[in-house]
Every structure is written in structure tokens, then in C-alpha cells.
A and B are shown apart, each in its own frame.
Chain A
Amino acid sequence: MSQLALRPGRWAGRLASPAWFQRYGVYAAVAVLLLFNAAFTDHFLTVDNLRTQLVQVAPVVIVALGMALVIGTEGVDLSVGSTMALAAALLPLYLGYGLVPALLVALLAGVVVGVVNGTLVAVVGLQPIVATLALFVGGRGLALVIADGQLKQIANPDLLSLGSGQVAGVPVVVLIAGVLALLVAGIVHRTTFGRQLVAVGGNRAAAGLAGLPVRRVLTGVYVLCGVLAALSGVLATARLTASDPSALGNLMELSAITAVVVGGTPLTGGSVRVLGTVTGALLMQLLRATLVKHDLPDSTAQMAQAAIILVAVYVARERRSR
């Protein structure tokens, strides 16, 4: 280990290497973006603005955490946006019994979605993209049926305070997202479930031969993803102060996948980068905010995001071919 001579040439080489870039590129990008804004954007690095950015990104972060787990198993979950809608549609029906029962019902919907997805993938053996497509389409339809296609105002004060409340100046949604990120990181790195998840993603045949409960792990991963998506749906609804199953969570699957990929988790499975995922979501959020502040149209923001995704995918590909 003492041979890791830190000659300058070596360092320069390392900075440019795809491996380094996949690992730390996302942090560097966020730092660059913050520096840029500090210099060129008025009122960007203010507490208020940063708080707004964090509140806006929190639902994406929560969904992306679940997505990172699924992608770690070489899968993908397209149904997260629909799951959010489903949770949003169920909430107002049960709020009469209080926040906790309504919340439990919404999360239960996430569990059910996860069980269906997990069963299709792990037991039936469908490709994840196909398996989760079913609920991507069907989930939102079901949500609209449940909600009668209506937007419903939320009046429950407990739920509303979940959306707009603060603890010591930190918005509750941000706090929840932070705690969940820590929790997911703990699961991935410290629990048998987490390590088995990574092993299954790394080499499923080998994991099976080593006696790992492959099906149970896969199902569990989709359930976790579903629950996180449902929770995100609840929080987003609380912030909107209305349940809007037709629009809530639209394109969320893409935002989440983007956050995961940009954060350096390979689509080929076998590794989950939790902090990277959180930072990836943050990067996309800050980028959009920066461009908006400079009065660039939304289409430009989308193109900038596309460019970042391309870079991330390219870097991952480079690394694999070594």
C-alpha cells in the first residue's frame, strides 16, 4: 500500500480516467455548478433558495433511492410514477380516519405494487422493464378510477404540516429524505439483505448456487422501491395540498433513473451508490434551477440534462470495457 506513490503525473492521469469520473464526477459537477452560481447568479446561494431546491428535489431523491436498489440487481422499475399516483389517490379516501391510517393504506399500495413487480421478475422470470411496464400503465389507470379522475383538495392539517412544516429550519420533507438516504445506505452496506442484493446483481447464477434466497431478495427490492415511491407520492401530495393522480409522478421514473445513473451506479447491477444517487438528483435539480434563473427555456434545460445523461452512460461504458 505504501507503493501508492502520489506522483503528480499519476494524479493527473487518475483525474481523467473514466473510473475516477464514474465515482466522483457527480460530486465534482455539483461543486462546479455551485461555484458557477456563486459567481454569476444573483440570489442563488441564499438559504431560502437552497431550501426551495432541497424541498423540490426531496420526492425525486426518495424515489431514486428505491430505484438505485432495483438497478443494483440489474433491474429497473418503471412503475414508480404510477405508484405515487396510486398513493395520492388513496390518501383522501382514508384521511377521515386520521393521517396514520391513510398513510398506512398508501404505503400498503406501494407494498402491493412491489409484490406484483417482484413476483413477475423473480418468480415468473419476466424482464424487469416488461414486468414493471404493466403497472406503469395499469397503476395510473387504477389511480384515476379510485379518484374518479378528480383532483381533490387536502384539508387535513397533519398531512399539510408534513408538506410544509419545518424542524429547526429544515423542511420536514428534506429531513425525511435525508433519514431515508441514511437508512438505505445502512441497508445496502450493513445488512445481509443489502449485501445479498448486491451479490444477486453482480452474478445471479453464482448467488443462487451459493444458496442465497434470490427470489426473496428480488421481491424485497421491488417492495422497498414501491414503498419508497408511495411515500414520495404522499409527501408530494402534501406539498401540493391536493391529490392529483392524473399528473403526480409523471416522468418520475425517468428522473429517478437519471439520478441513479448520473450518480455512478452501473445499469449492469452489482453495485449501489446511495450518496451518488442523492447527489445525482441534486445535480439535475440544480442544473434546471440554474438555467431557469438565467431565463433559458425549459427545452434548453432538457437538452442540458440529456447531455449529462449521455456523459454518465458513456463513462460507465468506458469503464466496463476495460
Chain B
Amino acid sequence: MAPPEAAAAAPPEDTDPAVPPAVLEAIGVGKRFPGVVALDDVSLTLRQGEIHALVGENGAGKSTLIKVLTGVHRPDSGELRLHGQPVSFARPYEAQQAGVSTIYQEVNLVPLMSVARNIFLGREPKNRLRLIDFPRMHREAAELLAGFGVTADVRRPLGSLGVGTQQMVALARAVSVQARVVVMDEPTSALEPREVETLFRVIGELHSRQIAVLYVSHRMDELYRICDRLTVLRDGRLVHTGDLADLDRMQLVSMMLGREVAEVRRHGVTGFGEGHRADREPVLTATGLSRRHQLDDVALQLHPGEVLGLGGLLGSGRSETAKALAGALPLDSGTVTVAGRRLRRLTSAAAIRAGISLLPEDRKAEGVIPGLSVRENIVLAAMPRLSRAGVVSRARQDRIVEVFMKRLRIKASSPEQKVGELSGGNQQKVLLARWLCLEPRVLLLDEPTRGIDVGAKAEVQALVDELAQEGLAVLLISSDIEELVEGADRLVVLRGGAVAGELTGDRVGEAELLEVLAAHGPGAGGGTSGDTAPDEAAEEEQG
């Protein structure tokens, strides 16, 4: 990707060739919600053709700033400028009309409409009768998506595609409108490495067309690969803005967290420690897990005190395996045995009673209950245990909730705040707390650090480590290969719903994992085809 100098090398028609003109600016913006100051006097300047990183801890105010910039929220104070002129967007639509195109953190397209309709929503091609020209729309949508490596049928409802593919559709939509600014709030958190490459290629094209990009991500390596400048927020305040090249990773992290560089260095960047000593006897044994088109005779064992990583590409059956173990995926055949006792009926409730907890991959659809408070979301699964004769005990709930909000550093105005109002990363921590407060024996973590900031990520990783040391058996799924390899003591690699290999001891490494993945050639797991439906199929059967 173009280094910072490249932006400066292409001289725009400005008086100072080194500084391209500002496209979108926020000046002294403030925004409060009941009980929190989300933004306090924050300024941000987005210059033509630059890729500008917006970073900060969970709840620092990044998404809020983006929503203020794009007309979702009205700022309480301060002003916005577009090409130097003061503007105020009453609705996101107005921002889009003015050339500010946005991909929000939570994909906000219409799941029941076709992929093509979603891409052209509000600007559908019309035929002579002023009706929507469907053949043309479908053709153009398919062509557009092909450029993003997506081969899904554009007539299918968007909701039937995998999360990653949906994200790519959102990207295609955002980029295909004639934008001067493209804003992306954690676009990569739901993407596979391959899709991330596509995204970066698209960003590179935007860059060469002198379009400004505002880019939010918690993944440091991404920032250093593609961004020119950055703005750091902490607790709703601006702490730094400048060239990214002037900061090293440690300095950046310490700035985000507000801690000394030395302290950050001592903790290291991933939170994982050394390997663990696992027991001989497995606590969980699964055999012959099969389900048509999704799982093919998967067998694995989990030992107390170990972290077992589950590797594989998109659609290889990792999430399905985790769901099957947790009783959340109806199986054609297969058994799960926990501590010597075979689960007779494989249901979520039975699995939870046996001590299996699953942190699901899709936080919005399968995790949080947005209208309920942080407290109620945390105690949801543990409620029967915290009740007497069917009557809930607030005192007991409050005690547990306090412990976990502290331990995971959940940032909320109070335990009674609605979870839907929390920042994405804090929602994820609430879900973790929901499972940890059950004191499970087996913890299945499907993308546990997705959307979590570096500080919290290291904390979660350290927590996983600690839990394993305490004798918990952990299954870890992560599309972040570094995290997977560093976190796992042992790796089982899946391909096309079947076990393709196992890596133990010294062989647990990035190169070895890629080798196993590649050994099978371009198989079922390749590419972002639209056929990533297994997850969705599973969800439908939840009802």
C-alpha cells in the first residue's frame, strides 16, 4: 500500500503541496447520552486522498464520532465542515448525497431484500416506464460484486449470506456511490483474511482516486499497512492526531490505553502466556459429529487445562462444530461425552447443565438481548441458579454482575444501562461475562476477541490463559491466525466439515497451519462464495 509520502508526492492544486485540502472536518464536537459523555470537544480533519485511522479503546467514542459525521446523531456542540463549508446532516441519506458514504459497525442493510436491491437501494436503475429495471440491476450488481470476489447470486435475500459476505456487499454499496469520503467502522472484524486482502485492494483504489477514507479497526497490523495518519480517542476526548509513521506500535497502544509505554511493553501485545499442562483424561469427547452438508464425522477431545485451537477456512465447519458441541445444532449422528457422562439429548440446556458454554460468533443475532440491561444480559443463563423458588434475587445478581463488570472492565454508565447502547466491544465482554459466571468446565469461544480493542483483547487472551490454568478446557476459534497459534496448545484443522489434520507441540505454528490448509488444495473452503449458508441454516433451526 502507498506509504505516506505517496500522498504527498501527487501534488494537488493547493498552495501547500505537502498538505492536501481538508474534505471533511469535525471541529470541537461534543455529544452526550444520558449518563455518559460520548464525545467531548473532539476535532478531526480528513484530508483529500488520505487513509485516516480512528483508534481508541472500546467505548472511546469512535462509532459515535462517525455517526455524528454522517448524520445519524446530531452533535450537541461543535460543527462539521465539508470542503471548508459548514454543514449539518439531518439524516444519513443527506450525508450520502453530499458524498460521504459509510459502512457502519453493525451491518445495516435490509436482510430480507435481495443483494442487488441492497446495493442499489434508493438509486435503482429505472426502465422507460420508470419502474425498476431488474435485469439491469442484477447484471450491474453481479459485475460490481465480482470485483470484490463475491460470486453469490444477487437475487438471494441478503440475510441468507454469511456475515463476511454481507460486509462485502455493504462495502460494494458504499464504494459504488459517487463518494468523496468513505467511512468504515471496523470493516474487517467479520472478514476472513482473504476478504481482508480484497478490502485493502479496494481501499488502495480509493486512495489512488484521491478519495478520503476514515478507517476504524482494532487490528494494529492493518493500521500500519494501510493508514497514513491517525486520530486517537480516549474516553470521548481527542488525545492525539498526526502521522502514523511517527509512532511505533508500543507508543500507539500506550496512547490508546493511557498507560506508560514501559508498562505496555511488560505486558506484551498478545495476552497469552506459555503453554499449559493438560490433564491426560479428556473432559469432553466428541465422536462422529455429522450433519448433512455441514459436518462429516468430526471427532475431537478436550482436556482440562488446555486450549484447543480450531483452524480452517471460511465454511470449513468450525462454528458448526462448536455449535454442535453446545447442543445448538441438530445433528444427524454423533455423541458428546462430558466427564464420562454421555449427553443423551443434545440441547443447549443439557449442554449448559453439563458445563459446556458457547460464546457464539454472531453477537447481534445470537448473543445480546439489546432491550435488556447489562445486568440481565450477564445473568441470563445463570438466572435459575440465582433465584429462589422461581423468584429472582436482585442481591445475588448484583454481586455477580459487579464482579464480572470489574474483572472484564465493562464500560457502561451503570449495570442498568441497556446493552444495545454499549459500544460493540463492551457488548462482547458482556457476553463473555454471561458465560463465565456459569463457571463452566468447557468453554467454546467462537471469535472471542472480534471487535475488542487491543487492551481488552490482551485481557481476554490473558483471561483465557488463566482459565485454562485453573483447569478449564477451552476451544478457541479465531480468524486471527496469530491469536489462534499463540493461544492454542494444540490445533485441529477442519476442511469441508471434516478433520483435515492435527498439530501438536512444536508443530503449532503459523507456517504449519498454512501448510495443512494448503495441502488440500483449493477445496470447499476457498473463496467468498455466497454459499456460506451453514451458519444461517443453523440459526433458522434455533427457533
**A positions within 8 Å CB-CB of B:** 1, 3-4, 125, 190-193, 195-196, 198-199, 202-213, 270-271
Contact = CB atoms under 8 A, between A and B. Distances in A.
A87 B414 CA distance: 47
B35 A3 contact: yes
A212 B381 CA distance: 7
Contacts of A203: 365-370
Contact of B35 (A4, A125, A192, A206): A4
Interface in B369-412: 369-372, 376, 380-381, 383-384, 387, 390-392
Given A1-B414, A210-B381, A213-B349, A205 B365 contact: yes
A206 B367 contact: yes
A4 B413 CA distance: 12
Nearest to A196: B383
B56 interface: no
Contacts of A213: 349
Contact of A209 (B348, B371, B376, B387): B348
A3 B76 CA distance: 14
Contacts of A212: 349, 380-381
Contact of B32 (A1, A3, A192, A204): A3
A212 B349 CA distance: 7
Contacts of B366: 203, 205-206, 209
A146 to B, nearest CB: 35
A1 B35 contact: yes
B391 A191 contact: yes
Contacts of A196: 383
B206 interface: no
A209 B358 contact: yes
B21 to A, nearest CB: 34
A80 to B, nearest CB: 24
Contacts of B34: 4
A211 B348 CA distance: 5
Contacts of B371: 198, 202, 270-271
B349 A211 contact: yes
B542 A1 contact: no
A187 to B, nearest CB: 9
A199 B36 CA distance: 26
Given A205-B366, A205-B542, A211-B348, A199 B380 contact: yes
Interface in B21-48: 32, 34-37
Nearest to B356: A211
B414 A206 contact: no
A313 B358 CA distance: 37
A1 B543 contact: no
B384 A192 contact: yes
B106 interface: no
B214 to A, nearest CB: 23
Contact of A199 (B365, B369, B542): B369
B369 A202 contact: yes
Contacts of A205: 365-366, 539, 542-543
B380 A191 contact: no
A73 B36 CA distance: 31
A198 B390 contact: no
A190 B390 CA distance: 9
6 contacts: A192-B387, A202-B370, A208-B328, A210-B381, A211-B348, A270-B369
B35 A209 contact: no
Nearest to B367: A206
Given A202-B369, A209-B358, A191 B35 contact: no
B255 interface: no
B309 interface: no
B367 A202 contact: no
B439 to A, nearest CB: 14
B163 interface: no
A208 B347 CA distance: 9
B495 interface: no
A191 B434 contact: no
Given A195-B392, A270-B371, A208 B35 contact: no
A115 B349 CA distance: 22
A250 to B, nearest CB: 33
B543 A125 contact: yes
